[in-house]
A and B are shown apart, each in its own frame.
Chain A
Amino acid sequence: EVQLLESGGGLVQPGGSLRVACAASGFIFSSHAMSWVRQAPGKGLEWVSLIRGGSDVIEYADSVKGRFTISRDNSKNTVYLQMNSLRAEDTAIYYCAKGQEIYSTFDFWGQGTLVTVSS
C-alpha cells in the first residue's frame, strides 16, 4: 500500500525558512518523480515543484523559483522542500504527490502539512 506522510509544517514569520519532508513507502521510491502541490485556505490547487527519481530533472513554479528548493534522499525514501524567504501568500497546506509514468500525473497524495506564514 502506497503511503506518503508529510511533516515539518508550522508557523513561521515572514522572511523566515522552513523545511517540510515527505516519507514514502509501498512503492519503488527511486523510480518515481515526486511533486509538492499546495492549497491556500479556501483556494484551489497549485503545483509547486517536481523532482524526478534520479534528481536529474527539477522544476519549479514561477511563484517559488529562487526561494524554494526540492531534494530527495532515495536511501531514506524521503522528499524535501526547503522554503526560504517565506511570504504570507505561501500560507497553505503542502501536499506531496507521487508521479505516475507520466511524471506530472499525481496518483497518490499525502494528507498534507500546514505552513502558516504570519507575524
Chain B
Amino acid sequence: DVQMTQSPSSLSASVGDRVTITCRTSRSINIHLNWYQQKPGKAPRLLISMATSLQSGVPSRFSGSGSGTDFTLTISSLQPEDFATYYCQQSYTTPTFGPGTKVDIK
C-alpha cells in the first residue's frame, strides 16, 4: 500500500491568508493525487484531481502542484467558507487517504 502523510495536521489562519498544505507519499505516484475538502457533518468534496486539475465549480483560489512523492494544495486568499478539513488521496494504486489537515480560524 502507498502510505500518505500530510503536514501540518492543523493550522490556524485568518481570512485573506495564503495557506499551503503538503502531502507526501511513501513511493512515487506520478501525478495521481487528489484533494478533497470536508466540512463538519458533510460529505467530502473533490477539489483537485491529478495533482493540478481544478474541478468544475471550485474557486480559482485553490491550486495544486507536485509530482512523484511531494504535493501541495494552496489556497491563495483564505475565505470564510474555506475553513474545513482537507484530505489528499492517491489514485495510483488501491486508494488511500492522507490523515487530513484541519484549517480553522485564528
Q: Footprint of B on A, CB under 8 Å? A: 35, 37, 44-47, 50, 59, 61-62, 95, 100, 102, 104-112
Contacts and interface: CB of A to CB of B under 8 A. Distances in A.
Interface in B61-106: 87, 89, 91, 94-100
Contacts of B91: 102, 104-105
Interface residues of B, number: 22
Interface of B: 1, 32, 34, 36, 38, 43-46, 49-50, 55, 87, 89, 91, 94-100
B97 A102 contact: no
User: Which among A47, A95, A105, A111 has the greatest number of chain B C-beta atoms within 10 A?
Assistant: A105
**Chain A binding surface, main DSSP class:** strand
A48 B35 CA distance: 18
A112 B94 CA distance: 21
B78 to A, nearest CB: 22
B96 A111 contact: no
B21 to A, nearest CB: 14
A44 B97 contact: yes
Given A47-B94, A102-B91, 9 more contacts: A44-B87, A44-B97, A44-B98, A45-B100, A100-B49, A105-B34, A105-B91, A108-B46, A109-B44
B45 A45 contact: no
A50 B95 contact: yes
A55 B98 CA distance: 27
Nearest to B4: A44
A30 to B, nearest CB: 21
